[in-house]
Structure 1
Amino acid sequence: MRLIIMPDPDIALRLAASEIASHMTSSRHPVLGLATGRTMEGVYGHLAALHERDGLDFSTTSTFNLDEYVGLSQDDPRSYHYYMHDLLFRHVNIDPASVHLPDGMGQDLDAECTAYEAAISRAGGIDLQLLGIGDTGHIGFNEPPSPFDTRTRCVTLNDKTREQNASMFGGDPAQVPHQALTMGVGTILEARHLLLLALGTAKADIVAKALEGEVGPQVSASAIRLHARCTVILDKASASGLSEATRAKADYRAA
């Protein structure tokens, strides 16, 4: 695992966007796994700026998002379909046919999950999977306990996760859907490279559990430590819960 600690959040966001851009330019047909949440808003802003300013080309890129709420239509402003279109896709030259998110409105959710796995396989697998980390230690919506061999599936969201995501639902956790479709931990681990980004003091404890605690299904983010090519980008605040020994192994950057 490659651990990078940056001095402030914006520099960490810019580095994450740069890592993604580097993967895109090194492949003729890059396949990106994308994440959502407030942390990722800045990443997508920087990627859109790289497209506008430097001509970063999305025309041959395919994307697969980690998850989507069950019961929200694609044009619902609270859905991740809407989030991705609003923050990234409408700003860049990506082919809409190359954009993939689970369909939380599907009549047969098990069939939708099977089809999503098949689509990832047809694309040749994911080159780079972007990840955040939730308050329960989840990657995607892999709530505890999530075995490390799980595939794309329908899950029930933890109350803590629904509280964390309530800001998109008028601040009311009761309005957050109870279920979501998510890539499984096993699906995520099959990506050729993982990039986890976490920012802020609120993430410090769960980051420490994921990077230094027991590797197991109670903290699905701990699975990244089993991956051969994993990069973790933190700011100083999110890294503040790590031991001195772990921080000593990190790559500190000024810019």
Structure 2
Amino acid sequence: MKVIKVKDYNELSKVACEIFVEEIKKNPSLTLGLATGSTPIGLYQNLIKEYEKGNISFKDVKTFNLDEYCGLERSHPQSYYTFMHENLFSKIDINLDNVHLPRTDGTDLEKLANEYNELLLQNQIDLQVLGIGSNGHIGFNEPGTSFDQETFVVELTQKTREDNKRFFNSIDEVPTHAITMGIKNILAAKKIVLLASGKAKAEAIYKTVKEQPTPDVPASALQLHPDVTIIVDEEAGALL
């Protein structure tokens, strides 16, 4: 596990982008694992700039997102499908047939989770980006999730719903469930980059890096992976 400490969020986003650009140049048809939330937006903005400069192309890249809310249409402004299109896909030359997020628009959510899991088993992720929750969650794998967990339907904790309510008009509008890659799926990636910014993430980062791996801190499972880079700004890395 390699930890890179940088000054601030802008530098964090640039360093993450450099890793992505290097990997895409090495393998223009690689498979990326992508995340939503505020943390990777700077990375995506930098990748768009690199694409606009002609340094990289996404035309042969495949992508798989970590998770998606249940109960929202793909066209809903707060769906992760919409988030990815607004923050990345609509601004690069990616083939939308190569873009994958969990389908959550059917009645049999378990079946949809299993279908996404099958896709992941058929497509190993070359480079996975992760954020981290203040409680150490990765994807929607909350504390207590087994490290052997594969893609599943998860009931969102009150804390996670509170954390996400700023994107909705009220807590009542925040979905109660999501489909997420499990920790086992995340660990199947060849290379993982975790990004953390701000003092609210400092304790989770400390536990992820310094304490014994435990399901109580889902991100600590990353200690079991052979190629993980954690990029933190000064605040998120303050306890290291």
Is TM more than 0.5 here?
yes
The secondary structure found in structure 2 opposite 1:38 is coil
Task: Find the aligned partners of 1:137 and 1:8 in 2 and give their Cα distance.
Answer: 20
Deviation, 1:108, is 1.5
Contact 1:136–1:161 (8 Å) recurs in 2: no
Task: Find the aligned partners of 2:106 and 2:208 in 1 and give their Cα distance.
Answer: 33
CA gap of 1:201–1:4, structure 2 versus 1, over 3 A, is same
Task: Find the aligned partners of 2:154 and 2:9 in 1 and give their Cα distance.
Answer: 31
Contact 2:120–2:185 (8 Å) recurs in 1: no
Contact 2:132–2:196 (8 Å) recurs in 1: yes
Asked if residue 108 in structure 1 is aligned to residue 108 in structure 2, the reply is yes
The secondary structure found in structure 2 opposite 1:68 is strand
Asked if residue 46 in structure 1 is aligned to residue 38 in structure 2, the reply is no
Who is 2:85 aligned against?
85
Deviation, 1:121, is 2.7
CA RMSD of aligned residues (A): 1.1
Deviation, 1:174, is 3.0
Task: Find the aligned partners of 2:118 and 2:23 in 1 and give their Cα distance.
Answer: 23
Counterpart code for 1:173:
I
Task: Find the aligned partners of 1:142 and 1:32 in 2 and give their Cα distance.
Answer: 19
2:206 aligned residue (205, 208, 222): 208
Task: Find the aligned partners of 1:204 and 1:58 in 2 and give their Cα distance.
Answer: 33
Who is 1:61 aligned against?
61
Who is 1:132 aligned against?
131
Who is 1:18 aligned against?
18
**Residues 174-207 of structure 1, C-alpha deviation per residue, up to 9 Å, x if partnerless?**
3211110000000100000110000011111111
Task: Find the aligned partners of 2:205 and 2:162 in 1 and give their Cα distance.
Answer: 19
Contact 2:44–2:88 (8 Å) recurs in 1: yes
Who is 2:228 aligned against?
230
* Aligned residues between the structures: 240
Counterpart code for 2:112:
E
Query: 5+ residue gaps in structure 2?
Result: none
Contact 1:31–1:62 (8 Å) recurs in 2: yes
* Runs of 4+ residues deviating >4 angstroms: none
Contact 1:33–1:65 (8 Å) recurs in 2: yes
Contact 2:33–2:128 (8 Å) recurs in 1: yes
Asked if residue 72 in structure 1 is aligned to residue 72 in structure 2, the reply is yes
Contact 1:136–1:160 (8 Å) recurs in 2: no
Task: Find the aligned partners of 2:196 and 2:31 in 1 and give their Cα distance.
Answer: 22
Contact 1:135–1:160 (8 Å) recurs in 2: no
Counterpart code for 1:183:
M
Who is 1:194 aligned against?
192
Deviation, 1:122, is 2.6
Query: 5+ residue gaps in structure 1?
Result: 243-255
In the superposition, the TM-score normalised over structure 2's length comes to: 0.97
Counterpart code for 1:14:
K
Deviation, 1:5, is 0.2
